Amino acid sequence: SAVISQKPSRDICQRGTSLTIQCQVDSQVTMMFWYRQQPGQSLTLIATANQGSEATYESGFVIDKFPISRPNLTFSTLTVSNMSPEDSSIYLCSVEDQGSGNTIYFGEGSWLTVV
Amino acid sequence: SQQGEEDPQALSIQEGENATMNCSYKTSINNLQWYRQNSGRGLVHLILIRSNEREKHSGRLRVTLDTSKKSSSLLITASRAADTASYFCATENAGNMLTFGGGTRLMVKP
């Protein structure tokens, strides 16, 4: 199994600033996914992050706004840049552990409030 | 976090048959959501059912919610090989955080 540590769990951010969310996995995984969830709504996939390649962004999300790093098979970061109140949301990382039969694991989520 | 329970963990059926997956949870919820994930791809949202709703339909999908039993079911009718995927339920609690079940791996044989 894979255990995911996501930081920060919560933060209050000033408008115009940027915040980086970290996702640490206790085992090597190929696929990592970043999602956004606004309260009362479903998850929206932001991007897929594979080690050694550029992240693949979904429609409506761009690298300048949500830069992602994936320096190795156990770690990824998502930065929310130049934040506005509309970015207030829960951000969630998820991994697919191909070593355990493609099992999916989820982080605890990072709840950002932009003021 | 991943705390809900889904059953079965794996389900194998023939094309054309119906597939039923169940989800149980422990705390009161705002809504319950079902997702599908194909290996190597991100989650795809299927249906969101609110705590005051009992049943919702979307195409070949039917979701029921029984808040008294803290359980939900996802029914896929007339299954197709393309329905082969992992299916997850997720509950949103009063704090707006999502809790995921362990998922059901569905295999639909042509």
Residue that wins the pLDDT comparison between B28 and B63: B63
What is residue B2's three-state secondary structure? strand
A40 to B86: CB separation less than 8 angstroms, yes or no:
no
Beta-bridged to residue B90, according to DSSP, are: B33, B100
Nearest-by-Cβ selection for A48 from B42, B48, B92: B42
Q: In the predicted model, is pLDDT for residue B50 greater than 90?
A: yes
Q: How many CA atoms lie within 13 A of A109 on its CB side?
A: 21
Backbone angles phi, psi at A99, to 5 degrees: -70, -20
Q: Is the pLDDT of residue B1 over 50?
A: no
CA dihedral sign of residues B38, B41, B47, B52: positive
Chain-centre distance of CA A63, in angstroms? 13
Report the C-alpha gap between B15 and B86 in whole angstroms: 16
d(CA B48, CA A40): 9
Q: Are the Cβ atoms of A40 and B30 closer than 8 angstroms?
A: yes
pLDDT value of position B93: 83
* pLDDT value of position B89: 94
Q: Choose among B1, B48, B103: nearest Cβ to A42.
A: B48
Query: Which chain B residues are within 8 Å of A33, Cβ to Cβ?
Result: 42-43
pLDDT tens across the length of chain A (115 residues): 788 999 999 999 999 999 999 999 999 988 899 999 887 788 899 999 988 788 999 999 999 999 999 999 999 999 999 999 999 999 999 998 877 777 788 888 999 999 9
Q: For residue B2, is pLDDT > 50?
A: no
**HSE (side-chain half, CA atoms, 13 Å) at A72:** 7
Contact indicator for A72, A80 with CB cutoff of 8 Å: no
